[in-house]
Homo-oligomer: A and B are copies of this chain.
Amino acid sequence: MRESVPGPAVGDAFGGVLRACHEAGARTGAVFQIVERDDGHIAASDAAVYFAPVEDWPELERKACEEITGRALDVGCGAGRHASVLIAAGVEVIGLDSSPGAVAVARARGVDARLGSASVVPAGISAMDTVVLFGNGIGLLGCPRQAPVVLAELARVAAPGARLLGSGHDPCVTTDPIHLAYHDHNRRRGRMPGHLRLRVRHEHLASEWFDYLLPSETELAELVRGSPWRLVEIRQDGRGGYLAVMQLR
Contact = CB atoms under 8 A, between A and B. Distances in A.
A230 to B, nearest CB: 35
Contacts of A46: 29
A211 B41 CA distance: 23
Q: How large is the interface on A (under 10, 10 to 19, 20 to 34, 35 or more residues)?
A: 20 to 34
A206 B40 contact: yes
Contacts of A39: 6, 204
Interface string A36-50: 001111111110000
A146 interface: no
A17 to B, nearest CB: 10
A32 interface: yes
Given A39-B204, A178-B203, A32 B44 contact: yes
Contacts of A178: 203-204
A203 B202 CA distance: 17
A34 interface: yes
Contacts of A3: 38, 209
A206 B40 CA distance: 9
Given A3-B38, A5-B38, A178-B204, 16 more contacts: A4-B38, A5-B40, A5-B209, A6-B38, A6-B39, A8-B41, A9-B40, A28-B29, A29-B29, A32-B32, A32-B44, A32-B45, A34-B42, A40-B206, A41-B203, A178-B203
